Structure 1
Amino acid sequence: MSSAESAQPAQSAPDGPAWAIVLAAGGGTRFGGPKQFSDLGGLPLVAHPVRAAAAACDGVVVVLPAPLLDRWAPPDGVRAIPGGATRAESVRAGLAAVPAEAGVIVVTDAAHPLATAALYRSVVAAVRAGADGAVPGLPLTEVVKGVLASGPDLVTGASLARETHRLVQTPHAFRAAALRAAHAGAVEAVEDSAMVADAGGRVVVLPGEPANIHVTTPEELEIARLLLIHVQSEGEPDEHGAARLSAVR
């Protein structure tokens, strides 16, 4: 992944609207079930990134498990489609549903329900400013060690350098043409920004949000519920998306 200080020249701003793909087609193996439908503050988990994306983007596609497509009805204006067997297949299903005229495509997931609309606007703005991709990240605050892939967790080497690594969150934003080109070869990858960077794209890392946790386990869902109570008590200004937020509710 290239840094914000990449020597590559900035490209002209992409034309066309910004669209978001919300990935929620997983089976929730580590969670113990389809977590995207778990309750968070009176709404399904998946409703939160849909709401934030709708506040920051011109259109939203949500990708759900094919057998559970009717389990949750998205708000008016949000299209629900069936996902694939892998994350990459689900991204490509979303790309097929995004209009060809889109200039920026945001990829996010139900596992990051507390990302604010401001964070979505931030990554979109970075792409509008010339980057091929933009992701939010946090500095490492703990030591990260390599361990054996099987057997006991034995340390295998030196710690990762904190100065040159980030904990990357979603949402990610991309120049639409760059993301479509990266997926054109039907490559099976678990992370889109690496695909775009490997293809020569300039991907920048922006400041993430500490409350934007990754919900993988029931315990993390409980933490998200506590954080949401705090966020709701503080309130998040959203001068650009109030109408669309109310529509999602």
Structure 2
Amino acid sequence: MQMTTKAAILVAGGRGARMGSPISKQYLPIAGQPVLMRTLTVFYTLDPGIDLILVLPESDFTYWNELCEDYKFTVPHRLVAGGNSRFQSVRNGLKALHSGTELVAIHDGVRPFVAQDVIQESYEVAERHGSAVAVVALKDSIRKLTDTGKSFFEERQYFRLVQTPQTFQVGKIQKAFEVTELQQFTDDATVFENQGWQVTLISGNPENIKITTPEDLEYAEFLISRKQKA
């Protein structure tokens, strides 16, 4: 892995309407530090050589730089302007990759609790197989709804909850994002498999939540306090 040039694109273009806060969720502090800074730090601590690309709304650049100054945040990263959708934001991040980059992890900026061993495994598996998508098993029973209002039992063992990072060989994922955006592109894996390529799954970590609601913030505070006591 030492010879492989790696990058990570952290996507944080949302406005966080479900958070009910005037400040976008990615900038809200948890345990005294904004969410995005915690996410960037996880990748940097794993490997300071990873090229970190942070995709934000261009109108937020000044605010983000001010936050970095206020919190004395020095983890090196590059800012890239996001698009009107996640697909467009990721595509902008892919276009910003340095030539020679071989592997890229695409990660939700508001998932600060991703385990470092998950990130590491994602790079290793993607290097061998072309892709590596973090998933976790379901704990609850599930039912499938129909348009007529009926529901049917489904075997949960055949389903997985999809997380990030979703890591790829750069040549393949850049080619995948050359297509026109489609409604079914809910994540990067769906864009990748649109080319006819099989997605390789790896085990994620359950704590790797996507911070979206006030309840998520409360749980995030708990996770940090538990880690500090450990």
8 Å CA contact 2:102–2:170 kept in 1: the answer is: yes
The CA deviation string for residues 57-112 of structure 1, in whole angstroms up to 9 with x for no partner, is 52100011221112223535200122111000100111111112111010001221
Work out which of the residue numbers 38, 47, 59 in structure 1 matches 2:51: 59
Identify the residue that residue 145 of structure 1 maps to in structure 2. 143
Gaps of 5+ in 1: 1-12, 235-249
Q: 1 CA distance for matches of 2:117 and 2:91?
A: 26
Distance (whole Å) between structure 2 residues aligned to residue 155 and residue 30 of structure 1: 26
Paired residue type of 2:14: G
TM-score where L is the length of structure 1: 0.80
Provide TM-score, normalisation by structure 2: 0.86
Contact 2:108 2:210 in 1 (8 A): no
CA contact (8 A) 1:145 1:155 kept: no
Residues 54/186 of structure 1: CA separation in 2 closer, same or farther (3 Å cut): farther
Contact 1:49–1:110 (CA under 8 A) maintained in structure 2: yes
Measured in 1, the distance between the counterparts of 2:216 and 2:153 equals 25
Q: Aligned equivalents of 1:67 and 1:187: distance in 2? A: 23
Give the direction of change, closer, same or farther, for the CA distance of 1:147–1:229 in structure 2 (3 Å limit). same
Amino acid in structure 2 at the alignment position of 1:62? L
Gaps of 5+ in 2: 69-73
Q: Deviations over 1:96-151 (max 9, x none)?
A: 111121110100012211112222111111112x21211111111112233478xx
1:156-208 CA distances to partner (integer Å, 9 max, x unpaired)? Answer: 33133211111111111111111101101142422111221231223221111
Code of the aligned partner of 2:53:
V
Q: How many residues align?
A: 216
> How big is the shift at 1:155?
5.1
SS in 2 for 1:137: strand
| SS in structure 1 at match of 2:142 | coil
Q: Indicate the SS of the match to 2:216.
A: helix
The structure with higher relative contact order (CA 8 Å, sep 6+) is 1
- Structure 2 residue 187 is matched with structure 1 residue 191: yes
Residue 30, structure 1, aligned to residue 6, structure 2: no
Relative distance call for 1:230 and 1:181 in structure 2 (3 A) is same
**Percent identical:** 25
If each structure's strand is expressed as a fraction of its own residues, which one has the higher value?
2
> 3-state DSSP class of the match of 1:98?
coil
RMSD: 2.0
Q: What SS class does the counterpart of residue 174 from structure 2 fall into? A: helix
Out of 205-214 and 66-75, give the one that drifted further: 66-75
Output one character per residue of 1:199-248: Cα deviation in whole Å (capped at 9) or x when no partner. 122322111112111211011111111011112333xxxxxxxxxxxxxx
Map of 2:160 onto structure 1: 166
State yes or no: 1:134 paired with 2:122: no
Aligned letter for 2:16? G
Residues 56 and 216 from structure 1, CA distance in 2 versus in 1: closer, same or farther, beyond 3 angstroms?
same
The 1:162/1:148 distance shift into structure 2, 3 A limit, reads closer
Matches of 2:153 and 2:62 in 1, distance apart? 46
Change (3 A) 1:226 1:65: same
